[in-house]
C-alpha cells in the first residue's frame, strides 16, 4: 500500500480534508488551523502529491483505497475540494462505513459539461492535458489563474496559491494527467443520489470551474443535500471566505458531546435520578398514551432505559414476548435490573444507542424516552434503528427540542459567547432525518413544559442529578465564580411569582419502519 502523508491538528469531531488537482495538503494550512479550534482536522496528500507516494495508475478506486487505509478507524466527515470532492464522493460510495457526512467544496459529481449538466467545458480540460506535455509549470500557473479569476483580491490569492504549490515539486506528469482524466470522465451522480449520509455542497458565485448553477441540478438528484452559495467567492473559497465556510461547517457538523463524559455523568446520577426525574416520568406516561399500547407485542426494546421507569411501564402494560432494556451507563442498567428482578423474559444490554448490537429485523417495537438527544449523529441513529426494526415495526420516542432551557441560554448569553446549554434538533430536522432513513407514517408533536424552581441553584442541582450537564462546544476552562454570579443575576430577572421558570420542549414521535 502506498504511503499517504497526513497531518492531524486540533481536537473534537474529525474532519478529513482532501485537496484538489495538482495541489497538496499545505494549501489548507491557514484554513485548517481555524477549523482546528473546534475539530480534529486530518489533512491528506493525494497519492503522488506533496509528500505522498505515487500510484502507478492514478485512478479513483486506488486513490480511495489509499486514503481510507491512511485514516484511523471510525466514521468521519470528509471534505473534498474540487478533484477532492470527486474523491470523497467515491469514498462514500465504496466505503460507507468510513463516512458520517460529506462536504463538497467547489466540487460536483460530474466535473465536465454535458447537454443536461453544468460544468467545465471538456475542450478546456483536454487543452490542459495537451499543454502539460509542453510546459508543465506554465499550465499549472494558468490553472491557478482560472481558480481566482474575477475576484477583487486576485493578486493576493494567486500569490497564496503559488506559494503553496511551489512548496513541493509538481506531481509527476502521469499523476497530473490521471487527475485530469478523472475530472474529464468521472460521473458520480448516481452515487450522490444514492448516498445515505448528510451532504453539504458549498459553491461560489464567481467560480469559473464549477458553475454555481450546478447546485440546483445536484439538488434535483439528491433533494436532501444542503446547498450553500457564497457570494463573490471563486474556486478557492477556503482562502477568500474561510470564516463563512467554517460557519457553514459548524452548522452542518456541530461539535459533538463527549460521549465518555455523558456515560460517566449518567453513571454518577444513577442514585439521584429517580428523585429529580418527574418530568421524564410525565413525558414517558404521555409517550405511551400516544400509541395503542395493548397492540405492542413481540420483541420490545427500551433504548436509553435510565433507571427503568419506561421499562417498568412496558412490563405492566404490554403483551411482550421479550423485552430488552438498553443503556449506555452500566450503573443505570443495574438500577433497572434491581427494580425488575421478578419480570420474566427481560434482558439487559449495556450499549450505546449509536452502535446497536442487535441483528437486522429483530425488534417489533422500539421505545426511547428522552435519550436520543445525547446521540452524536441522530440521522445515522435512525438508519440503524430502521435496520433493527422488523418490516412495519414501530419506533416510538421522545426527545428534547431547541427551546429546551431557553431561559438558561438567555442568562448565559449575558456572560460570554460559549455554549453552556446544549442545542437540540428541531421538529423539522427530526422529520427530515426519519424520512431520509426510510420511515413512514411519521407523526410528530411538540409540547413545552415549564418547570419552576425556588432558585437557579436548585435548577442546576436538578440538571446535575439527572446527569445532563455535559455540553458541546463549551469553554474548556473552569467557569469562574464571577461568571456564575453574573449568570445567576441575569436569570433572577426572569423570576415569575417568586419562582424561577425553566422551559423543556419535548418532541414526541411515532413512525413505522
Whole-angstrom distance, CA of residue 227 vs CA of residue 225: 6
Interatomic CA distance for residues 221 and 228, integer angstroms? 16
Residue that finishes a domain, picked among 214, 235, 252: 252
Task: Note the pTM of the prediction, 2 decimals.
Answer: 0.57
Q: Which residue of the set 25, 82, 118, 265 is catalytic?
A: 82
In a domain, 268, yes or no: yes
pLDDT at 149 over 80: no
Q: Are residues 143 and 292 in the same domain?
A: no
Residues 146, 40 share a domain: yes
For the ranges 185-189, 404-408, 457-461, the lowest mean pLDDT is seen at 457-461
- Confidence (pLDDT) at 271: 57
Q: What is the CATH number of the domain that holds 283?
A: 3.40.50.150
Residue 63: pLDDT band by 50, 70, 90 thresholds? Answer: very high
Note if 352 is an active site residue. no
Per residue in 121-139, pLDDT (tens digit) is: 888 888 878 887 777 777 7
Number of neighbouring beta carbons within 10 Å of residue 319: 11
Whether residue 197 is contained in a domain is answered as yes
pLDDT band at 377 (very low <50, low <70, confident <90, very high): confident
Look at the block and give the residue holding cell 436509553: 304
Q: What pLDDT is recorded for position 144? A: 74
Establish if 457 belongs to a structural domain. no
Regarding whether 244 and 336 lie in a shared domain, the answer is: no
Say yes or no: 56 and 13 in one domain.
yes
CB-hemisphere CA count at 13 Å for 212? Answer: 13
Q: Identify whether the C-beta of residue 63 lies closer than 8 Å to the C-beta of residue 87.
A: yes
Alpha carbon distances (Å) from 110 to 85, 192, 229: 10, 10, 18
- Of 252, 281, 316, the position where a domain reaches its end is 252
- For residue 210, the model assigns a pLDDT of 92
* Domain membership of residue 279 as a residue range: 259-404+423-450+503-512
The answer as to whether 498 is a domain residue is no
Whether residue 175 lies inside any domain: the answer is yes
- Does the annotation count 82 as an active-site position? yes
Report the relative pairing of strands 500-512 and 389-400 from DSSP bridges.
antiparallel
C-alpha cell at 6: 497526513
Bridge partners of residue 327, in order along the sequence: 350
| Phi, psi of 512, deg, nearest 5 | -105, 140
100 lies in the same domain as 244: yes
Q: pLDDT at residue 465 above 60?
A: no
In sequence order, the 6+-apart residues with CB closer than 8 A to the CB of 87 are: 18, 46, 60, 63, 64, 67, 80
CATH code, 159 = 3.40.50.1820
Total tally of structural domains belonging to the chain: 2
Candidate from 144-153, 171-180, 200-209, 408-417 with smallest mean pLDDT: 144-153
The answer to whether position 469 is within a domain reads: no
For residues 436 and 224, what is the distance between their CA atoms, to the nearest angstrom? 8
Q: Are residues 392 and 437 in the same domain?
A: yes
3-state secondary structure 482-500: HHHHHHHHHHHCCCECCEE
230 and 270 together in one domain = no
Distances (CA, A) of 462 to 272, 278, 467, 475: 9, 11, 9, 22
**Residue 130's CB: how many other CB atoms inside 10 A?**
10
187-201, 265-279, 280-294, 337-351: the lowest-pLDDT one: 265-279
Among 327, 273, 279, 306, CA closest to 461: 273
Where is the domain boundary, 252, 287, 310?
252
Binned at pLDDT 50, 70 and 90, residue 462 comes out as: confident
Contact (CB, 8 A) for 508 and 286: yes
Whether 312 has a pLDDT exceeding 90, the answer reads yes
What pLDDT does residue 13 have?
A: 79
Question: Residue 280: enclosing H or E segment and its boundaries?
Answer: helix 278-289
Whether residue 385 is predicted with pLDDT greater than 70 in this model: the reply is: yes
Residues 352 and 246 in one domain: no
For residue 446, pLDDT over 90 is answered with yes
Task: Point out the least confidently predicted range of 183-187, 312-316, 471-475.
Answer: 471-475
In the beta sheet, which residues pair with residue 504?
Answer: 449
In total, the chain counts a number of residues equal to 513
Nearest partner of 396 among 274, 304, 475, judged by Cα: 304
Convert the pLDDT of each residue in 168-188 to its tens digit: 888 998 999 999 999 999 999
For residue 472, pLDDT beyond 60 = no
Instruction: Check if the beta carbon of residue 157 is closer than 8 Å to that of residue 239.
Output: yes
Region 75-93 average pLDDT: 95
Spatial distance between the Cα atoms of 83 and 117, rounded to a whole number of angstroms: 17
Does the residue 205 lie in any domain? Answer: yes
Least confident of 234-238, 380-384, 422-426: 422-426
Looking at residue 172, the DSSP 8-state letter turns out to be P
Cβ atoms < 10 Å from Cβ of 490? 18
Task: Please tell me whether residues 275 and 205 are part of one structural domain.
Answer: no
| 19, 24, 49, 235: the active-site residue | 235
What pLDDT score does 272 carry?
A: 52
CA dihedral 83, 85, 89, 95 (to 10 degrees): 90
Confidence of residue 479 (pLDDT cuts 50, 70, 90): low
C-alpha–C-alpha distance, residues 380 and 43, integer Å: 25
Separation between Cα atoms, residue 469 and residue 295, nearest integer Å: 37
Out of 45, 207, 302, 327, the active site residue is 207
Handedness of CA 35, 37, 39, 41 (dihedral sign): positive
- The string of DSSP codes covering 411-442 is HHHTT-SS--S-----HHHHHHHHHHHT-EEE
**Residues 81 and 190 both lie in one domain:** yes
Strands 389-400 and 319-327: unpaired
Specify whether 98 is located in the same domain as 122: yes
Residue with cell 448528510: 198
Residue 118 is among the residues annotated as catalytic for this protein: no
pLDDT of residue 432: 87
Return d(Cα 254, Cα 470) in angstroms, integer.
15
Task: Tell me, yes or no, whether 245 and 266 share the same domain.
Answer: no
Q: Which of 20-24, 102-106, 115-119, 253-257 has the lowest mean pLDDT?
A: 253-257
Amino acid at each position: 500500500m502506498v504511503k499517504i502523508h497526513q497531518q492531524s491538528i486540533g481536537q473534537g469531531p474529525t474532519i478529513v480534508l482532501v485537496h484538489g488537482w495538482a495541489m497538496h495538503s499545505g494549501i489548507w494550512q491557514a484554513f485548517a488551523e481555524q477549523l482546528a479550534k473546534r475539530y480534529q482536522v486530518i489533512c491528506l496528500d493525494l497519492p503522488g502529491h506533496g509528500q505522498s507516494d505515487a500510484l502507478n495508475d492514478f485512478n479513483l478506486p486506488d486513490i480511495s483505497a489509499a486514503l481510507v487505509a491512511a485514516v484511523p478507524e471510525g466514521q468521519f466527515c470528509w471534505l473534498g475540494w474540487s478533484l477532492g470532492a470527486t474523491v470523497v464522493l467515491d469514498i462514500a460510495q465504496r466505503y460507507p462505513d468510513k463516512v458520517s457526512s460529506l462536504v463538497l467544496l467547489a466540487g460536483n459529481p460530474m466535473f465536465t459539461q454535458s447537454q443536461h449538466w453544468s460544468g467545465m467545458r471538456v475542450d478546456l480540460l483536454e487543452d490542459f492535458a495537451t499543454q502539460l506535455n509542453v510546459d508543465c509549470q506554465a499550465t499549472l500557473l494558468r490553472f491557478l489563474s482560472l481558480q481566482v479569476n474575477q475576484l477583487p483580491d486576485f493578486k493576493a490569492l494567486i500569490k497564496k496559491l503559488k506559494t503553496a504549490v511551489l512548496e513541493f515539486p509538481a506531481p509527476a506528469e502521469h499523476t497530473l494527467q490521471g487527475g485530469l482524466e478523472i475530472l474529464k470522465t468521472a460521473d458520480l451522480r448516481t452515487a450522490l443520489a444514492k448516498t445515505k449520509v448528510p451532504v453539504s455542497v458549498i459553491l461560489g458565485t464567481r467560480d469559473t470551474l464549477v458553475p454555481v448553477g450546478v447546485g440546483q441540478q445536484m439538488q434535483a438528484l439528491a433533494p436532501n443535500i444542503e446547498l450553500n452559495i457564497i457570494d463573490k467567492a471563486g474556486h478557492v473559497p477556503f482562502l477568500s471566505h474561510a470564516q463563512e465556510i467554517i460557519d457553514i461547517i459548524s452548522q452542518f457538523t456541530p461539535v459533538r458531546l463527549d460521549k465518555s463524559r455523558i456515560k460517566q455523568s449518567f453513571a454518577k446520577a444513577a442514585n439521584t435520578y429517580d428523585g429529580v426525574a418527574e418530568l421524564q416520568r410525565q413525558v414517558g406516561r404521555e409517550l405511551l398514551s400516544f400509541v395503542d399500547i395493548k397492540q405492542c407485542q413481540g420483541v420490545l426494546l427500551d433504548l436509553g432505559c435510565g433507571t427503568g421507569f419506561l421499562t417498568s411501564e412496558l412490563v405492566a402494560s404490554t403483551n411482550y414476548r421479550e423485552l430488552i432494556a438498553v443503556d449506555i451507563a452500566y450503573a443505570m442498567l443495574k438500577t433497572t435490573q434491581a427494580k425488575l428482578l421478578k419480570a420474566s423474559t427481560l434482558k439487559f444490554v449495556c450499549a450505546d444507542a449509536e452502535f446497536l448490537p442487535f441483528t437486522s429485523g429483530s425488534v417489533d417495537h422500539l421505545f426511547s424516552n428522552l435519550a436520543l438527544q445525547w446521540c452524536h449523529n441522530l440521522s445515522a441513529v435512525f438508519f440503524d434503528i430502521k435496520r433493527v426494526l422488523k418490516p412495519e415495526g414501530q419506533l416510538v420516542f421522545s426527545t428534547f427540542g431547541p427551546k429546551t432551557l431557553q431561559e438558561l441560554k438567555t442568562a448565559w448569553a449575558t456572560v460570554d459567547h460559549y455554549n453552556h446549554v446544549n442545542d437540540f434538533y428541531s421538529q423539522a430536522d427530526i422529520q427530515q432525518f426519519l424520512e431520509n432513513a426510510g420511515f413512514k407514517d411519521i407523526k410528530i408533536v411538540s409540547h413545552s413544559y415549564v418547570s419552576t424552581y425556588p432558585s437557579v441553584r436548585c435548577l442546576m442541582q436538578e440538571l446535575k442529578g439527572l446527569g445532563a450537564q455535559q455540553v458541546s462546544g463549551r469553554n474548556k476552562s473552569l467557569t469562574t465564580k464571577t461568571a456564575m454570579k453574573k449568570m445567576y443575576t441575569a436569570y433572577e430577572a426572569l423570576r415569575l411569582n417568586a419562582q424561577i421558570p425553566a422551559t423543556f420542549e419535548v418532541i414526541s414521535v411515532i413512525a413505522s419502519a
